[in-house]
Amino acid sequence: MHVLFVEPKFPKNQREFVRGLHAAGARVTGIGEAPVAALDSELKSWLYGYEEVGSVCDEGAMMDTVRRVQSREWVDRLEATVEAHILPVAKVRKAAGIPGTTVETAYLCRDKPAMKEVLRAAGVPCAASAGVASADEARAFARRVGFPIILKPRSGAGAADTERIDNDEQLERAIRSHGIDRGHSIAAEEFIEGHEGFYDTLSIKGEIAHEFVSHYYPGVLESMRERWITPYVITTNRVGAPGYDEIKEMGRRVNRALGIGTSATHMEWFYGPKGLKFNEIGCRPPGVSVWDLYCAANDLDLYREWGMAISHGRPDSPPSRRFAAAMIALRPSQDGRIQGYEGVEEIQERFGDQIIDAHLPPPGSGTQPIEAGYMANAWIRLRHTDYDTLRGICEEIGKTVKVYAA
């Protein structure tokens, strides 16, 4: 099978998808923005060919590139795994006659108001939501739903540019800052109180081949706004427990309603006083290398499993569910440059057997703003056979490790 893979070099973990396809026996031609000379020897060893393009989001340039490859030989698949690439690649895929995720599915997984309209019609419980493109529409939504509400980009990922609005004064500021008063359309949503988690799948021809359930501590919006918080994510090894049945059933209904075929998905949910509520879904793997946690927790090469799904239409190995796994983000005391760490040796002594790997930028390294995400600065990844024990370890690390910057 010949697979065109979009942007194999950046971000860093993109190479793992190339490796997974290669390991599954596919011939992989990369399409990326970097010159071929910028690819390292290992990445090149997994590639059958490579095509440079000015922008992988430029549909015209991508179409020309794909047609050039098709003129030389048959292309079976055209795949992308980055949120911003999914819709433009789907349009090129359709125009080039290559099977895969449809334009409709890509659009519905990208545009939040349209997504929730379809899912509500399918009986999936969602927060109240609407697309608003004027000050009057934003005010009307707030009156109808009541504060607090959430304003976010129609097609954003993570918590980028997402804002909680608690009163009329904040709403008026947001109407101006988001450009709503100038006709810019954004998503307005009911604020849902409750615990936040995510349900990730690898589906093959519409059927879920692999599934994983993970939890945020605390929720994403709070974590990405408050420096003092040491947030962490845990993927559970209790996926078969009855308490997760409702989440798994909702995930299947969402995938069916949106027409997910052979693809990874990343679905976020809330559970609180109003019960289980769907939040949003991406037709791609989760960010911040969460698949690495799934691999470490389950004695599984999920990237190869994805390669098998794309190339052969079947999974190859079941997950062991032997471990729960976590990633904890360690925030610097302020923006600037790293000065040093406190508590790292103690944590290594106490929990070294549970640590998978860690990233501790050396003193002198520049910091990233906390809203850049869980892996923007220092982080530690761990695993343990017991979920609750692992959660306790994460809490201890959050209390013990300090990252000083100036």
Residue 221 and residue 162 in contact, taking contact as beta carbons nearer than 8 Å: yes
Residue 251 and residue 211 in contact, taking contact as beta carbons nearer than 8 Å: yes
- How far apart are the C-alpha atoms of 7 and 158, rounded to whole Å? 20
| Domains of the chain as residue ranges with CATH | 2-100 (3.40.50.20), 128-190 (3.30.1490.20), 195-405 (3.30.470.20)
Give 266-277 pLDDT, tens digit per residue.
999 999 999 999
- How far apart are the C-alpha atoms of 387 and 185, rounded to whole Å? 41
Sheet containing 355-359: give its strands across.
275-282, 263-272, 195-204, 207-217, 232-235, 324-330, 378-384, 355-359
- How far apart are the C-alpha atoms of 82 and 259, rounded to whole Å? 19
Query: Token digits for 230?
Result: 């040491």
The three-state secondary structure class of 71 is: helix
- How far apart are the C-alpha atoms of 139 and 339, rounded to whole Å? 46
Given this model, what pLDDT does residue 155 score?
79
Residue 94 and residue 103 in contact, taking contact as beta carbons nearer than 8 Å: yes
Angle between helices 302-312 and 290-298 (to 10 degrees): 100
What's this model's pTM, rounded to 2 decimal places?
A: 0.94
Q: Which amino acid is at 115?
A: M
CA 208 to chain centre: 18
- How far apart are the C-alpha atoms of 284 and 300, rounded to whole Å? 19
Give me the chain's average pLDDT, please: 96
Give 6-23 pLDDT, tens digit per residue.
999 999 999 999 999 999
Closest CA to 191 of 238, 128, 249: 128
Please list the helix, strand and coil fractions of the chain in percent, rounded to the nearest 5, in that order. Answer: 40, 25, 35
Other CB atoms within a 10 A radius of the CB of residue 76 amount to 15
pLDDT band for 157, please (50, 70, 90 cuts): low
Q: Where are the beta strands (DSSP E) in 301-395?
A: 324-330, 338-342, 355-359, 378-384
Give 207-262 pLDDT, tens digit per residue.
999 999 999 999 998 998 899 999 999 999 999 999 999 999 999 999 999 999 99
Given this model, what pLDDT does residue 182 score?
94
Residue 367 and residue 405 in contact, taking contact as beta carbons nearer than 8 Å: yes
- How far apart are the C-alpha atoms of 199 and 264, rounded to whole Å? 11
